[in-house]
Structures are given as structure tokens and as C-alpha cells.
Amino acid sequence: MLNGIGMGVRVVCPYCGFGCNLLIDPKSRRVKPYPGEPNRGKLCPKGLYALEHVFSKDRLKHPLKKEGESFRRISWEKAISEISTKLKEIIEDYGPGSIAFIASSKVTNEENYLIQKIARLLGTNNVDNCARLCHESSVHALKLTLGDGVQTNPYSDLERFGAIMIWGYNPAETHPVVMQYILGAKRRGGKIIVIDIRETLTMRFADYRLVIKPGTDITLANAIMNVIIEGNLYNKEFVESRTTGFSEIRMGVKKYTPEYAEKVTGVPAELIREVAEVFAKAGSGAIMWGMGITQQISGVENVLALVDIALLLGYFGEKGGLYPMRGQNNVQGAAYMGTLSEFLPGYIPLSDSKFRRKVAKMWGVEDLPTERGFYLTEYWDAILKGDLKALYIVGENPAVSDANALKVRKALTKLDLLVVQDLFLTKTARFAHYILPAAAFCEKEGSYMNSERRIQWSFKVCDPPGESKPDWEILVMLARALGLKGFDYSKVEDITREYFKLFPALRNRSIEELKARGIIIPAPRLYVDSFNTHDGKARFVAVEQIMPWEEPNGEYPLILTTVRLINHYNTGEMTRRSPSLAKMSGESVVFISREDAREYGIEDGDYVIVETRRGSLRLKAKIAKIQKGVIAIPFHFDANLLTNDALNKAGTPEFKFSAARIRKI
Ligand code: SF4
């Protein structure tokens, strides 16, 4: 059966970007893992308890309008009419550049497609999604070197590789189900190398564990390349035939000897040598990375250095792959559907006039705006300066998820119009003028794209509560009220069919195939024969160590970083309303080393104040295996009141490095 009836209704997990399928029995509401790809009969606790938040008593059930300090219920007709009238007035008074949209990495491809279509038809590219906060650094680096900003190989390839390097990424807690693939490689004799700033759960499964000083990733990567080049361990045939810029890399990494790198990174020179040799001699290998790499001021350069390692060894196609592992369940789809302020759908640059006009023609207009919109991380200063007057947010919670969250909250109070579509009265929704109640993942149909670029259909299990509606239906109502043409969709598949027309890889594929099996686009394995660059060759880009934006000093002597917990997701609005998950994780903590705890007179379980230049938090201290001088806070609570909003080249804040201090209360 297409929708898995018999086994249960097949639904895409609403949490991480791995993209597990759940089988839900609508009557008993029991959740079972789907036996096929990608999860192969496995689920992590978040997937198993994925229905609990859906039936929370906190669900929004009616449109709400702010009156004074509280909200009053209004009808859908009135809400949409008032919102569209206000938007039109703002555009008339200040121009289309004064409005902005935040799309959602949790809603379907169809819904993301509509959000950017509305924004662009209104005349602005101010449409962005939370990829800006996580993997936009990867997109910029991968596009520059290889041609596409995406994961190169399917998960199933991981099992075949001779070595897997896991860098700034803790899959055992972030994407627990991917561990079966990683451990599959290990069972076949593959070597697992883990590089992180603390002893993560993933490190327990590693053959090589490298605990690195925060912010020194480029030095370590360059030292690994130094060993590979000096030892003649690189793949000469691949480098000569399929890359450009090798001499730049050879020169660039010369000074990064393992001994030099030991002083900078804290990783022993002998271990750097051994790991470089093991990875190079494995014959095939993957590099997987996460936010530990991308959420730094050097995020783009960090990824460039990892790509350089893979290029030196020719680890592409059958021989290896690059895995920028996505956080939220549809962050890949949201980006692919065009909800990035510098790209049209498919990551096509705004400057590609042929594609831009093709999209415009499909939407019934001559052309679309060409100027890059604000990055989502630039919205807050733009609002405070008066350049942005209206913000429309679908399913995101920037008052908690964005760096320097106090500044974000201040900006949210300055808007002439703030609309939030969501399941719950989130911290962001509290600032809204209008709140529109949205359906949860299992109360609607549509497609999602996981980290391996697999588009999967998610079927409907039950009706949404009260008057809440699927996001796409709300967006269609809004577009029609705004007088936009081309929104005469009667079912969600009409939107799917429209986005299929945009991508050559989907031109000869059918929605039936998508519903039955899912489709990986453009192909499961990229770059088998050629890279997606003008000459078909990949480009080495040498990078130098870049220092973090703010360094610890006498006033703020510690380095604060943010981490994830297995039982929580993003800003915790869903998982905290899931009793089984909330029980497992409880309140927010700060992880501190035994040495630092002793120095500050802190015992495990004591309450402490953690402060940075941006704010302070009261937290429970937890003594953990983390290096001296570094403290870590799970980002699911209010950690971003403390984090640094300095942006890297891709517009991603330096969440992973803030100078901080701690004191016992
Ligand atoms: Fe859901 Fe990710 Fe857990 Fe799979 S690994 S069940 S997709 S949260």
C-alpha cells in the first residue's frame, strides 16, 4: 500500500534531518519504525514519542489577535483580511523590501515553496530559513569547490567506506539512527575517527579520539593535509585529472606541521600523523560534520578545509563522500525549495537570468527581484534600524533559536506587523500581532527532503484540532487575499506538481513514485565522473587559521559553546510538550570540567550563573568530560541569550564560541 496502511500510516519524523519514517496506527496512536530506507526498522526516542506533542493541551486552536498584553480569538476571514491589508499598506508606504519572511525547516517542501513564491511575487527576496543558522557555511563552501551545496552520497554508502571522519558532530545524540550505518562500517573493519572539543557519546564508538581546542579546526585539517602531501599519500591521478589548485594547497599547508598543530590544537603530533595515515590508507572514506564546524566565524573556511582533505584523497563517488548532516527534518527541503535570500529554488543564484525568468513565467510575471534579500540573521539589525517593518514567521522560534536572543526579542517589539504561524504559543509568538494555528506533521500531507536529498511523502493520520489548518492552506488564503495570481491549488499535490516542473531531475518522475518509494535527487551519488563546475573539475581552496571573534580574557576567562541532547529538539517547544521526552531531559544544565568546577568551588548539581557580554543565565552545573576552560550549554533552552551574533561569510553566527564566566550562586 502506498501509505503503509496495513502496517500503519507512513509519516516522516518531525524531528531531525535524518528523515526516519514512522508507521502510525491511527486508532491506538502507536508509533513503529518503518522497516525500509532510510531508518531500516530503527527509531530514536524522539521518533518513538513523536505523537505526544501533537496531542498536547497547549495546541493553538484558533487564530488570535493581540489586544493590549493579551490575545483575543478572531475568525480566519478577519485575521487573513487584516494581515493582508496591513502588508499591502506597509509595501505601499515603505516598498517591498520592508517586509520579510522566515520559512520553516519543519514544514513541507510544498509549504516552503509557497512561502518563497509569495515573498518573491510581492517583490522581495527577504525570505530565509534556519539553514542560515546551521549549514549555510557548508552550502557556500561546497558550491564554491564542487558546484552543489549538498551531501554527496546516500547514507547507505557509509557502511562500505574504509574510514569515517566525524568532525564537530555528535551523531549518537544528534541523528542517533545514522549510527547504525557508521557502526556497519566499523563492523566491516572501517576505522572511526572522531574530532570534537569534548568527549561526546559518539567518541565511545571511535577508534581514534581527537579532543581539539575550540576554534582550531583549520589548523588540524591543514596538518592532516600536510602529512598526506609530505608522505605522498594523496591520490595523484585524481588530483591531476579532476581538480585544480593543488599547488596552492601544497604551499598553503606547508607550515602546518603536526608539531606546530599540536601547539595550536592540543592534539598530540603523533596522533595527527597516525590519523592522517589511517584515513589516507583506508582507500575510501567519508567526512561527516555538523554545527561544531559550521557555527564558527570560520565556518565556511572550516568546511573548505574538510573538502580539501577529501579532494586530496579522491574520496568521491564509489570511494567516498561528504556528509554535512542537517539538523531539522526539512532544512534540506526548505533550502532546496528556494527559501534562502540569495538563491532561487535548487540553489540557483538570483543572477541566473534564464532560470529566474523561467520561474517568473511559470508564476505568471515577467521577472522576479534580483537583489539578495537580508539574511535571516541580518533581520534583527534591519528591524532595529527601521529598514524592516513587517515579519511573517512560519514554524520558527527565533526568540530562542537565534544568537544574542535578547537583541532578537527587542527587535520583535519594534515591528509594525508580526505574524506567526505555529502549533504553540512559542516565545516568539508572544510578540506577534497575529498568531495563526497550524496543523502538525501528522495532520496534513506533503513531502520532505532529508539530508541525503531523499524526497519522501508524509501521509495524513488525523485531523488538526479546532480551527487549525495545514500551513499550505493558510498561505494560499493569504496569497489570494493579497491579490496574487497562481494560487488556485485545491490539493497539496498541485503544489508538488508545480515544483517538480522546476527541477530537471524530477521532470520524468511521478508523484506516485514519490509516494511509494521516495526519490533521491538529482542522483544518489554525485560527482561520479564530473563535478558541477564550469570545467567539471573540483577546486582546492587553501585556508589559513582564523581566530574566533571574541577571545577569553581576564573578565570572561572561559569559552562557552552550545550542544544538543538526544531527547530534545531545536528550541524544545515540541519535545518539552512530549511528557516522555521532557522527563528524560529535565531542566537546562551547564557542562563543566572537574578541574574548572574545583577552581570555581562548584559541586555537581549546584546552581550557577553563566554570563557573557550579552546576557546571563541561571543553570544547574553538571560535571562532565569536557576540556578545562570550556563550558557547554544545550541550546534547546535559553542558551542563545548568551551566544555571539557575529556573522561569518555565509551569515551564520558564531554560536560555538563565546567568552564567558561562571560563578556559584
Ligand atoms: Fe526522528 Fe532523527 Fe530520531 Fe530518526 S534519528 S527518529 S529522524 S529524530
Task: List the chain domain ranges.
Answer: 64-128+333-450+467-496, 136-325, 558-664
Beta bridge partners of 662: 610
Cα(171) to ligand 1 centroid in Å equals 11
- The atom number, within ligand 1, closest to the CA of 16 reads 2
Q: Which residue has the cell 557509509?
A: 158
Class of CATH domain 558-664: mainly beta
Q: Which residues neighbour 468 within 8 Å (Cβ) at sequence distance 6 or greater? A: 59, 60, 61, 423, 437, 438, 439, 443
Using the 8-state DSSP alphabet, how is residue 16 labeled? B
Do β-strands 434-437 and 417-422 pair in parallel, antiparallel, or remain unpaired?
parallel
CA of 529 to the centre of ligand 1 (A): 33
Residue 310: per-residue pLDDT:
98
- Identify which of 524, 569, 615, 638 has the alpha carbon closest to the alpha carbon of residue 156: 524
Asked whether the beta carbons of 489 and 81 are under 8 A apart, the reply is no
What CA dihedral angle connects 580, 584, 590 and 595, to 10 degrees?
A: -170
Between CA 657 and CA 662, with CA 661 as vertex, the angle to 5 degrees is 125
pLDDT at 3: 59
- Cα-based angle 70, 480, 88 (whole degrees, multiple of 5): 60
**Around 205, how many Cα atoms within 13 Å sit in the side-chain half-sphere?**
24
Which of ligand 1's atoms lies nearest the C-alpha of 15?
8
- 47 CB less than 6 Å from ligand 1? yes
Residues of the chain with pLDDT under 70: 1-6
Ligand 1 atom 2, closest CA: 16
3-class SS of residue 247: helix
Q: Which residue has the cell 483580511?
A: 81
Which helix (H) or strand (E) element contains residue 479? helix 471-481
Q: What span, in angstroms and rounded, lies between the C-alpha atoms of 625 and 615?
A: 26
Determine whether the shortest distance from the Cβ of 574 to ligand 1 is under 6 A: no
Q: In what order do the strands lie in the sheet with 21-24?
A: 9-12, 21-24, 31-33
How far does the centroid of ligand 1 lie from the alpha carbon of residue 566, in Å?
10
What distance in angstroms lies between residue 103's CA and the mean position of ligand 1's atoms?
A: 21
Q: Which of 12, 177, 569 to mutate to test the pocket of ligand 1 (most atoms within 8 A of CB)?
A: 177
Site to probe by mutation for ligand 1, drawn from 11, 12, 15 as the one with most ligand atoms within 8 Å of Cβ, is 15
Q: Find the 425 Cα to ligand 1 centroid distance in Å.
A: 24
- In the prediction, which pLDDT does 1 show? 42
Pocket flag, ligand 1, residue 441 (CB < 6 Å): no
Q: For residues 456 and 511, give the distance between their C-alpha atoms in angstroms, rounded to a whole number.
A: 10
- pLDDT, residue 4, reads 55
Contact present, 267 and 210 (Cβ < 8 Å): yes
| Contact by Cβ (8 Å): 49, 581 | yes
- What pLDDT is attached to residue 191? 98
- Return the ligand 1 atom nearest residue 19 CA: 7
Pick the residue whose CA is nearest to atom 6 on ligand 1.
Answer: 47
Q: Which grid cell sits at 228?
A: 598526506
Cell digits for 621? Answer: 552545573
Q: What is the DSSP letter of 394?
A: E
- Report the 10 Å Cβ neighbour count for 354: 7
Q: Is 410 exposed, middle or buried (0-12, 13-18, 19+ CB in 10 A)?
A: middle
Gap between the terminal Cα atoms of the chain: 59
Measure the CA–CA gap between 321 and 326, rounded to whole angstroms. 15
Residue (of 12, 139, 10, 14) closest to 573 by Cα position: 14
Q: Is residue 43 in contact with ligand 1, taking CB distance under 6 Å?
A: yes
- Compute, in angstroms, the gap from residue 178 CA to the centroid of ligand 1: 9
Question: Ligand 1: does its nearest atom lie under 6 Å from the Cβ of 631?
Answer: no
Q: Are strands 285-289 and 343-344 parallel, antiparallel or unpaired?
A: unpaired
Q: How far is CA 579 from CA 397, 427, 495, 563, 572, in A?
A: 21, 19, 35, 22, 12
Q: Do 116 and 127 form a contact (C-beta atoms < 8 A)? A: yes
The verdict on the CB of residue 46 being under 6 Å from ligand 1 is yes
pLDDT of residue 572: 85
Q: Tell whether ligand 1 has an atom less than 6 A from the beta carbon of residue 647.
A: no
Which residues neighbour 328 within 8 Å (Cβ) at sequence distance 6 or greater?
15, 16, 17, 105, 106, 130, 570
C-alpha cell at 277: 595515515
Q: Name the grid cell of 536.
A: 567539471
The runs of H, that is alpha helices, within 132-234 are: 136-145, 171-174, 179-187, 217-230
Output the CA 578–ligand 1 centroid distance in Å: 15
Query: What is this model's ipTM?
Result: 0.99
Q: Which amino acid is at 208?
A: Y
Kindly report the protein residue whose alpha carbon is nearest to atom 4 of ligand 1.
Answer: 20
Please indicate whether the domains covering 136-325 and 558-664 agree at the CATH topology level: no
E strands, 253-298, in order: 285-289
> Cα(331) to centroid of ligand 1, in Å?
14
Q: Is 44 in the pocket of ligand 1 (CB under 6 A)?
A: yes
Ligand 1 geometric centre to CA of 19 (Å):
6
Cell 513523536 belongs to which residue? 50
What SS3 class is residue 573?
coil
Show the cell assigned to 466: 479546532
The CATH architecture of the domain made up of 64-128+333-450+467-496 is 3-Layer(aba) Sandwich (3.40)
| Ligand 1 atom at minimal distance to the Cα of residue 176 | 5
- Note whether 280 and 272 are within 8 A (CB): no
**Residue to mutate (ligand 1; options 24, 32, 34, 44; most atoms within 8 A of CB):** 44
CATH, domain range 136-325: 3.40.228.10
The continuous run of DSSP H or E covering 664 comes out as: strand 658-664
610 touches ligand 1 (CB under 6 Å): no
Run of H or E residues at 237: helix 236-242
Residue 391's DSSP bridge partners are 100, 418
CA of 327 to the centre of ligand 1 (A): 10
Q: How far is the CA of 305 from the centre of ligand 1 (A)?
A: 29
Ligand 1 centroid – CA 20 distance (Å): 5
Q: Which of 10, 20, 326 to mutate to test the pocket of ligand 1 (most atoms within 8 A of CB)?
A: 20
Per-residue pLDDT, 2 = 47
Cα of 42 vs centre of ligand 1, distance in Å, is 9
Matching residue, cell 522566515? 102
CA separation for the pair 434, 429 (Å, rounded):
8
Whether 175 is in the pocket of ligand 1, judged by its Cβ within 6 Å, is yes
